[in-house]
């Protein structure tokens, strides 16, 4: 993947939820892009997006309820 000329927000966050999501999160981390974080949510309250996050993507393979809880907490905050 060509990472040149990619203009990402200063704080771009990827949150993974569910079984087997580690591979996706590790791939995002391996790109080494500035201002991009990637993490796996074991608990929906441990990685709630905050005001400093310009963009948050929640990826899930199962545990849809947990992913929805994270998204709902982000939109109400």
| pLDDT confidence bin for 72, thresholds 50/70/90 | confident
- Write the pLDDT tens digit of every residue in 4-14: 545 555 578 88
Query: What SS3 state is found at 60?
Result: strand
- Write the pLDDT tens digit of every residue in 13-63: 888 888 889 999 999 999 988 888 898 887 766 666 667 777 888 888 887
* pTM tops 0.95: no
């Amino acid at each position: 993947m060509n990472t040149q000329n990619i203009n990402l927000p200063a704080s771009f966050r990827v949150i993974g939820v569910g079984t087997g999501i580690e591979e996706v999160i590790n791939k995002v981390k391996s790109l080494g892009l500035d201002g991009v974080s990637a993490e796996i949510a074991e608990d929906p309250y441990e990685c709630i997006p905050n005001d400093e996050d310009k963009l948050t993507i929640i990826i899930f393979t199962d545990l849809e309820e947990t992913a929805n809880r994270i998204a709902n907490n982000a939109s109400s905050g």
